[in-house]
Chain A
């Protein structure tokens, strides 16, 4: 006797599928709305954005951003060049504005999500046109990536993370097909090229390189050694050449400056948060890895998921954060789709011997038709994030009961490091990204720019965009200076001499991530003249004492 699925359950399955698809399409719309919001915002939203744009500007002038940090303008980049080089062709279209990098990064997330969906679909597609395997699981696997709180928040920023994940995803997809009878060698070469691009976008690509080469090694040792050797020679040669032409500044800024303090508690906190937000995707990814490890052959996708956890393990480094989990999120979404597909087509159950003789594959598949969208639907609110203002989001957040649960808190619960609450709720709790900008934020930005434009020479700003928008040189990359100083690799004498001479007409602080002697010198030579609340942060504007005395003399 076989179990037949009641008609009511079929109806329920269709209803759950529609609701699940709506939930993830809803997240896509929230993401697009946030991206459009950021495309319009001219100032730094995240502190590193302006510096990444400035790297692109330097490349467009034919200059390297790997320089001597100890001499004026005390600026160097701590990231590899590819993301910034990709921005360069956009500069003539948009001008030297953040929208260049934001559009690029946003496009990278869409390509990654599309690739995840297509790979899952290709692996699950059946000749009988099963809509769950052909459309629903691939679609939500891709949309799930864009629905991630982490991807949402970082996706449309002028930061290199998401371009890295795009190259990593494409690399793994090509490498997974290296045994293809017709295009195996082509796929391997393309995969290695993508790994090269990923490595020259951000250093953390090394984990995806390890995953890809490990996969090839498990299946074909000779080709793995050839591929690994070829990649090492290509990447090593470029690395060596850049180091030669930058007189060693490349090595100092890319490698030595990134050796920072590590706090394992931050790593554990972020692991717990990542699992809590992406529970279904993570559990299915782990399930696929364990199944393949003991009962099947390890695939490129489950190995990638496993190695990507290594990037997450580095998230306790000073300056790191949840962005280190974006690769693991992409891998989890992809692996989860493959896992659900295998569950759905019954291959796992048969292989595990878990089916009773009287229960057929068709029955299991029928039950999973309802269960899979239910699982996706249960996962959706775990990642809940949305603005709480505006004609659509304000009533929606009220209906969902989160209109009073804001990312920075409000009133008495306002996080002390912030000057104003933001109209945004996120299931991850406190976060500095993801919220929309208000008219007050635009007005605050113009107030700061008025101060910047009133100066003649360069300014000393913790964020680069104030200088770039006023056509001034970018002076200092604060976190880079701090990293080098903490590692005993920065001579601060010239920068302190400039501050003592009061060579900058204006200092703009936000987080004060400068070496202590630099902050002390500024404290002795500059005084606060204004405090501006923008984007939830207080910006401190300081004038040199000579300028204050001159202004006082004129008014007398």
Chain B
């Protein structure tokens, strides 16, 4: 298989240029999808039979939870690539993804709590999903804390990358153990509204929000990694050609 596209992408000047071109193609569809999805979710979708209008939080909660998991996967994969092939840009991708993932994990927790209050009667419930999200937030924070504790950038990259990889191995174990633990205590609360039961008017805005959030992440990543590239490639001569 021809791997030149991969190596070219790993080269900072090429990545900088490609990311710059890609950004509008990600940001504009993201904005449109999110706007349309939120509008559809808030206004057009009918109220739920059991949860009335409170279910509308799903249009924020589900995409946040999805992003939190997706970002961790991307972060760990980029970290692994950076460790194995020693590609600095991969470390930049991981570093850029972490704060985005962490903020959406926190949002998933907050919206989960806000959704839970009317449904379960308490602000926090040790629901398996929420507990897993909480542990995921700790994993993100650990990654960011470790990064910032090193003065040397290379060491920071590699140490936090190793942590991300170790963490990702743990994520399935954590999920399994938390679900098992929760099932013991007759978790009263499984967030209902399984997707198969949803009519199209409810489902379509949700899919729009999910897709829009993913594209938003892509756009944010392009911007942040471009910034990282500029910071890291201090002496490179290609800068004068591209930075205007």
Q: Do A and B bind each other?
A: no
Residues of A within 8 A of B (CB): none
Residues of B within 8 A of A (CB): none
